[in-house]
A = this chain, B = another copy of it.
Amino acid sequence: MAERVKGILQDLEKGHISVPKALGLLKDFPYEDMGFAKVDNHRSLRRGFPEVIFGEGKTPEQIIKIAKRIIAHDGILLATRVGQDVYRALKKQCPGVKYEPKARAIYFRRSAPPRKTGTVAVITAGTADLPVAEEARVTLELMGNDVEMLCDVGVAGLHRILDNKDVLEKAGVIIVIAGMEGALASVVSGLVSKPVIAVPTSVGYGASFGGLAALLAMMNSCSPGVSVVNIDNGFGAGYFASLINT
């Protein structure tokens, strides 16, 4: 998009368009009104990554329409919490899009992202936390991060995480994904000096209250260096990790 902005400005400089005209063209950039949605087109300029589609509560038609606009503008797409049917319908119109079924995410990147040098470790307490981890991984890779996954290393068998301390130490940023009592976040944070992004998950039953138990536990971590995102929010953790990964 930066190219198109530059073009308008050059047109103005060369006298091909007037200032009011230029202003009008630039003002049209920020978002496009699609009736039901205003695609935030200059977010990639402002924030380094385009708008991400959160699929829940949107009709397949809405998702596809928004996705096509974002692809056209930015050449990058991430849509989370969408079913395989939406993917198939979109693929017919944008053949390059891919789908990660565990994460239920559609993604696309026209050109390779600039690579970051640090690695992000994505760690889960249990096997059932995998879909959230996959959502984080897809997000991270789309943003140019190397990812190291370490799954099922919950504190019930502490040696599993202790034996993998090298993974923790090599990483620049650590994402810890855990349901139930969410203790893994505190434990990992206590072992190393890396920032830990904790993701509570809704894995559990009874008094886990849909992830509330893990969320509160992570919020109250006795080990400094932990911050928390929403329950099951793999995307948010991946996005935040990419912002702080160098």
The answer to the question of A67 belonging to the interface, with a C-beta cut-off of 8 Å to chain B, is no
- For the complex formed, measure the closest distance between the CB of A52 and the CB atoms of chain B, giving whole angstroms: 7
- Which residues from B are CB-within-8-Å of A173? 244
B219, A216: Cβ atoms closer than 8 Å: no
Set B183, B194, B244: member contacting A181, Cβ < 8 A: B183
Shortest distance from the beta carbon of A79 to any chain B beta carbon, whole Å: 12
Q: Report whether B157 and A31 are in contact in the complex, using a CB–CB cutoff of 8 Å.
A: yes
User: A222 at the A/B interface (Cβ < 8 Å)?
Assistant: yes
Residues of B within 8 A of A209 (CB): 216
A225 contacts the other chain (Cβ, under 8 Å)?
yes
Quick check: B219 and A217 within 8 Å, CB to CB? no
Interface status of A10 (Cβ within 8 A of chain B): no
Asked whether B36 lies within 8 Å of A180 as measured between CB atoms, the reply is no
Instruction: Verify A219–B228 contact, CB threshold 8 A.
Output: yes
Known pairs A58-B127, A127-B58; A207 contacts B193 (CB<8 A): no
Number of identical monomers bound together in the oligomeric complex: 8
Surface stretch bound by B, among A15-23, A69-77, A86-94, A231-239: A231-239
Return the contact of A151 from the options B35, B163, B187, B194 (Cβ within 8 A).
B35
Partner of A155, one of B183, B227, B246: B183
Report yes or no: A130 in contact with B36, Cβ–Cβ below 8 A.
yes
Q: Give the Cβ gap from A177 to chain B, nearest Cβ, in Å.
A: 12
Which of B155, B159, B225 contacts A186 (CB under 8 A)? B155
Is A48 in contact with chain B by the CB < 8 A criterion? yes
The interface stretch among A1-9, A105-113, A196-204 is A196-204
A166 to chain B, nearest CB (A): 13
Please give me the 10 A-B residue pairs with the lowest Cβ-Cβ distance, nearest first: A206-B231, A57-B128, A183-B183, A213-B216, A40-B157, A227-B227, A156-B223, A181-B217, A224-B239, A217-B217
25 contacts between A and B (CB under 8 A): A30-B157, A30-B159, A30-B160, A31-B159, A38-B157, A38-B160, A47-B190, A47-B192, A51-B156, A54-B126, A56-B205, A57-B126, A155-B190, A155-B222, A158-B190, A181-B216, A181-B218, A181-B219, A181-B221, A183-B183, A183-B217, A197-B227, A213-B213, A216-B216, A224-B239
